[in-house]
Amino acid sequence: GQNIDQPTEMTATEGAIVQINCTYQTSGFNGLFWYQQHAGEAPTFLSYNVLDGLEEKGRFSSFLSRSKGYSYLLLKELQMKDSASYLCAVRTDYKLSFGAGTTVTVRA
């Protein structure tokens, strides 16, 4: 079975940094994805990690440690529009298994 854990909620101030952790125990591993989902909308792709280390994409970075079954998504210079749910997903073969998502609220 697949077990993917992430915090339910986080709150941060505009301009700050927030780190969303994701731990996983899965049978097989072909990479880890992060998606962003605004309320009432579809998930959209943010990042992909398959090797250990940090991937940076503008204000967003994602880190992976395969030996620890651990990833984090780092959101820098938070903006109000970053208020959304962030979904961690592990790929096994072609399939994705998702965590329950972390709702991030950005306050002015």
Partner 1 sequence: NAGVTQTPKFQVLKTGQSMTLQCAQDMNHEYMSWYRQDPGMGLRLIHYSVGAGITDQGEVPNGYNVSRSTTEDFPLRLLSAAPSQTSVYFCASSSIDRLNQPQHFGDGTRLSIL
Residue 7 in contact with partner 1, rule: CB under 8 A: no
User: What span, in angstroms and rounded, lies between the C-alpha atoms of 101 and 108?
Assistant: 23
Piece in contact with partner 1 (CB under 8 A), picked from 12-20, 58-66, 71-79, 96-104: 96-104
DSSP 63-100: EEETTTTEEEEEE-S--GGG-EEEEEEEEETTEEEE--
Segment near partner 1 (CB under 8 A); pick from 16-24, 57-65, 67-75, 89-97: 89-97
- Shortest spacing between CB 25 and partner 1, in angstroms: 15
Please list every residue from 36 through 65 that binds partner 1, using CB under 8 A: 41-45, 48, 50
Q: Are 75 and 82 in contact (CB under 8 A)?
A: yes
The DSSP secondary-structure symbol of 106 reads E
Q: Please give the residue ranges that form the binding site for partner 1 (CB under 8 A).
A: 4, 8, 30-31, 33, 35, 41-45, 48, 50, 87, 89, 91, 94-101
